[in-house]
Amino acid sequence: MSFPDVVVTGIGATTPLGGDAKSTWDGLVAGRSGVTKLQGDWSERFDLDVRIAAHLAVEPTEVLPRVEARRLDRCEQVALVAAREAWADAGRPEVDPERLAVVVGTGIGGALTILHQDDLLEEHGKRKVSPLTVPMLMPNGPAAWVGLDLGSRGGVHAPVSACASGAEAMAWAWRMLRSGEVDVVVAGGAEACITSLPVAGFSQMRAMSTRNDEPERASRPFDAQRDGFVLGEGAGLLVLEREDYAKARGARVYAKLAGVGTSADAHHITAPDPEGKGAARAITKALTTGGLSPADIGHVNAHATSTPVGDVAEAIAIQSSVGSHPVITAPKSALGHLLGGSGAVESMATVLSLHHGVVPPTLNLENLDPRVQLDVVAGEARDVKLEAAVNDSFGFGGHNVALAFTRV
């Protein structure tokens, strides 16, 4: 039995580097950082150890109509902004609504809504609680609103796999398209939870950088002096289509999503398998389903959050599954960690690396950890002739997702 190939025909994003895909990509290639001091006074009020974050470069309320924005949690807002850009970039396909699906993952969902509405309930009673509270806080909210916006009747799904959610959405879309269930899927991830409780929780885990005096230098994947991730916010959405369908309508194609791989560590609720075995299995599955060999892979867009344990485990996984030859980059050094949105935004970056033959630099890599035996791009972007690349994503709970892309 033959399965249809899956191609990327549209991209959209809103991130700490820019309010759209182009400005985000340009920022990555230029080596700009989106990390700044935390906005608001709550970090001082709660005496938090972390005082930095990667806030959105463009407020979604400046893009969306005011009335619409008020009905949405910030996580839902960024998903809609990115989805509309991706849909327009794909040429607004005239697809049968029953052959159109949406898959948008998130790690946390409407955190800002649930915390704000709880404050209102505590301070003013039930009459101040919004009747839109539940639609705004539910983790499937971003997917649901994108589905409503596009009129999708082929399915609306919301994988919640912590920081692998956006990548898992892409894998889910790939399987739907390969099965012939639908013709077009808008897939990706969204997250917006820069507020006191998530920051305090991650900080208490000692997972976040406290390089508060040097925000732009705080996220330093694979560097020997890394001390944790920087929380970011944003969304990335891609339009995926069956290749035959895309060709029939004359669509511009960026790249092919050739294969996907998923696995679970079964090791620890937050810590990765230190030997990277689960991550390596996911990467190997992505190559196998894509009909690729390790030698085919010229680039890996790494999850690399800048945590002491995670970066080394990932480096071991890449080396054992693909080898030491691919050119590596770690976008979280510039974007911060977008949690459920990261895998999708970084998939977009992987696609554009293939499309343009350019790998963005990893920021703040001054002293490569000797345990990382990889070719990590630092300093400036590197021109590389690429035919195939992998984007990997991992999440609390032991979720591992790898996506293999190829040139067309």
* Catalytic site positions: 163
Those residues whose C-beta lies under 8 Å from the C-beta of residue 43, and which sit 6 or more positions away, are 50, 51, 196, 199
CB 51 within 8 A of CB 35: no
Amino acid (1-letter code) at residue 155: G
Of 133, 150, 62, nearest to 99 (Cα)?
A: 150
Rounded to whole angstroms, the Cα distance separating 200 from 116 reads 16
Please tell me the number of Cα atoms within 13 Å of 155 on its side-chain side: 20
Paired sense of beta strands 234-242 and 184-191, if any: antiparallel
Phi, psi of 296 (to 5 degrees): -75, -25
Q: What angle do CA 64, 252, 56 make, to 5 degrees?
A: 30
Say if residues 12 and 82 touch (Cβ distance below 8 Å). yes
CA angle (236 as vertex; 369, 85 as ends), nearest 5: 145
- DSSP β-ladder status, 375-376 and 327-329: parallel
- Distance between CA atoms of 174 and 76, rounded to whole angstroms? 23
DSSP for residue 261: E
CB 215 within 8 A of CB 32: no
* Side-chain half-sphere CA neighbours of 335 within 13 A: 38
Q: Contact 133/113 with Cβ under 8 angstroms?
A: yes
* Rg (alpha carbons) of the chain, rounded to whole number: 20
**What token pair was written down for 325?**
């030859």
Q: In what side-by-side order are the strands of the sheet with 234-242?
A: 156-157, 100-105, 184-191, 234-242, 6-14, 255-264, 399-406, 388-395, 299-301, 327-329, 375-376
